[in-house]
Amino acid sequence: QPHAVVNYPAADVDYTRIVEYKHFLSQKSPDTVFFYERSKDGGEPYYPVPNAKNKALYERYRKMAEGEEGVKFVGRLANYKYFNMDQAILNALEMFDRDTEGEHGAGGMDGTKEEEMGM
């Protein structure tokens, strides 16, 4: 595989990701060690499977969450789907931006405008 971690968030495989350790330190070797990560310990998988049953369940949870005043749900569990870490972080940052729009001026949290930051 081309990278240290390759994710497989699909219902048609029985593992969530494959980790090949030599890629973490850019080692060059004809030999390797890799690990199939399975996201369940019997029963339901730890990650949601994107099917009609789970989408309906997510809608129920989403509606319940909307009724929770002063509480924000973000990330994998809040969206009831698998995110890579960069996607999970982006999800949190976008929620922060939406929830604080107008509170910090037109720039960053300290009010610095993008032009002042060299952007």
Residue 14: the pLDDT is 82
Residue 27: the pLDDT is 81
Residue 112: the pLDDT is 45
Residue 114: the pLDDT is 45
Report which residue type is found at 2. P
Between CA 47 and CA 76 the distance in angstroms is 9
> Which pTM value belongs to this model?
0.49
Which parts of the chain register pLDDT below 70? 41, 43-48, 102-119
Residue 71: the pLDDT is 86
User: What's the Cα-to-Cα distance from 49 to each of 27, 40, 64, rounded to whole Å?
Assistant: 34, 12, 21
Residue 80: the pLDDT is 81
31 sits in the region (left: phi over 0; alpha: psi -120 to 50; else beta) called beta
